[in-house]
């Protein structure tokens, strides 16, 4: 099992460009991140390469994430913004050697039919997937919880899976976030088993506080053991809010040798 750290939510003690070095110093060999809005992409690329990191995944532009936006693809007024971002994001992925990009579905729009929104989202994801396929890249789609993210369009695994199938592209897969789905539906292991062939990326945090594994109600030794037993060979992304004074202290559950080289569940301090 191999792990990567999401530098958009971890290492918030430092500016984004410094977080890549902090991740490497903490022993990680791979990172993921949300779209680096407001950052110079050349500087982002240099910071990642200077740190000697792989990039497991990053997001397409999802709008003003700190302001509460959660995706552009289902909003008619943001269609061109998303499509303009696609080649920019794919170029960055190629330069970084990243094979996967995550697309967020967006919020329900008052007064707009849900089916119309999903149809627009489908068209936009098809566009992104077709562009990505020509470069050998994948697009992933995730369900997220509505408690913290507002009226998000896809908030259960079945909804996200149905949407992925409706897109009809072989390079469109599921991103499964254990924390979000514990909040929305529970039944984690059975759901992972059911959808494992569709899942290309997994993210973790504990519930209900979104802290590091071992700080909440999710029995992570069992969940991670079952992910391992399923044959899943992708990354497990750490996307949590540390409960500790520093981000580095929150990694106590994940021995340093596992952060860079991977390992089995028996190697974890859980």
Enumerate the active-site residues: 142, 239
Q: Give me 179's structure tokens.
A: 């924390």
Residue 4: phi and psi, rounded to 5, are -135, 160
Pairing of the two strands 100-103 and 235-238:
unpaired
> How many of the other CB atoms lie within 10 Å of CB of 91?
12
| Contacts with 113 (C-beta within 8 Å, 6 or more apart), sequence order | none
Q: Give me 230's structure tokens.
A: 């399923």
Q: Residue 30 and residue 6: Cα distance in Å, rounded?
A: 9
Q: Residue 260 and residue 254: Cα distance in Å, rounded?
A: 10
CB 23, CB 220: distance < 8 Å: no
Which residues are bridge partners to 30 per DSSP? Answer: 54
Q: What angle do CA 77, 83, 89 make, to 5 degrees?
A: 130
| Contacts with 167 (C-beta within 8 Å, 6 or more apart), sequence order | 122, 125, 126, 129, 141
CA-to-CA dists, residue 175 to 59, 110, 138, 243, angstroms: 11, 27, 11, 25
Nearest to residue 42, comparing CAs of 83, 85, 5, 95? 95
Nearest to residue 3, comparing CAs of 225, 201, 159, 223? 201
């Amino acid at each position: 099992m191999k792990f990567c750290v999401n530098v958009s939510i971890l290492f918030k003690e430092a500016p984004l460009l410094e977080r890549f070095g902090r991740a490497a110093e903490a022993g990680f060999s791979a990172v993921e991140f949300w779209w680096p809005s407001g950052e110079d992409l050349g500087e982002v690329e240099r910071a990642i390469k200077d740190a000697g990191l792989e990039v497991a995944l990053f997001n397409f532009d999802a709008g003003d994430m700190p302001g509460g936006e959660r995706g552009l693809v289902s909003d008619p007024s943001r269609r061109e913004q998303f499509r303009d971002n696609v080649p920019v994001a794919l170029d960055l992925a190629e330069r970084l050697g990243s094979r996967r990009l995550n697309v967020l579905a967006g919020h329900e729009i008052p007064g707009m039919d849900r089916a119309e929104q999903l149809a627009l989202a489908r068209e936009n994801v098809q566009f992104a997937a077709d562009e990505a396929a020509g470069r050998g890249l994948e697009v992933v789609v995730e369900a997220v919880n509505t408690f913290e993210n507002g009226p998000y369009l896809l908030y259960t695994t079945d909804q996200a899976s149905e949407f992925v199938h409706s897109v009809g592209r072989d390079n469109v897969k599921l991103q499964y976030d254990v924390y979000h789905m514990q909040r929305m539906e529970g039944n984690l292991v059975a759901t992972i088993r059911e959808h494992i062939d569709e899942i290309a990326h997994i993210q973790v945090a504990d519930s209900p506080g979104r802290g590091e594994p071992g700080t909440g109600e999710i029995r992570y030794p069992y969940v991670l053991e079952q992910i391992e037993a399923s044959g899943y060979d992708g990354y497990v992304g750490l996307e949590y809010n540390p409960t500790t004074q520093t981000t580095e202290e929150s990694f106590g559950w994940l021995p340093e040798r596992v952060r860079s080289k991977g390992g089995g569940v028996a190697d974890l301090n859980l």
